[in-house]
Amino acid sequence: MSIQRLKERLGKDGWLVLALAGCVALCLLLALAENTTSSATDEESRLARVLSAMSGAGDVEVAVFYQEETALPCGAVIVAQGADDVTVRLQLTRAACTLLGLEASQVEVFKLGGIAP
C-alpha cells in the first residue's frame, strides 16, 4: 500500500488514533522495562544475602548483568569483605555460578573496600 493511499484511508482522525496507539505502546514498553530492572535488583539483593551468609564472606554486594535479547544472566561482579581469602573467593564464585547458571569465567570477585595492589 502506498503512503498516499494510506493517508486517504486514515484521514485526519486516523493519524491521531495511530499516534495515540504508538504512545500507549511506548508507555507499556517503558513500564515493562522498569519491572525488569527492579526484579534484577531484587535478585541481586537475594544473591547478596545468600552469599553474605557464607562463612568468611562478611558484607557482600552483587551486580548481575543480563543479555538484552533473552534477559538471562551473562555475568556477575561480587564485592565481598572476605574476598582476600582465596577459599572464600572460590566459594563465592561457585555459589554465584550455581545460583545464576554461569560459568566461573563469567563471575568476578573483588575485596570490599578497594582493589588490593
Domain spans of the chain? 3-111
pLDDT at 7 over 90: no
Domain 3-111 CATH superfamily: ANL, C-terminal domain (3.30.300.30)
Q: Please give the mean pLDDT across all residues of the chain.
A: 81
At 39-89, the pLDDT tens digits run 557 889 999 999 999 999 999 999 999 998 998 999 999 999 999 999 999
Regarding predicted confidence, which is higher, 11 or 77? Answer: 77
User: How distant, in Å, are the alpha carbons of 6, 14, 37, 74 from that of 45?
Assistant: 51, 47, 12, 17
Average pLDDT on 88-93 reads 97
pTM: 0.64
Pairing of β 73-80 and β 107-111: parallel
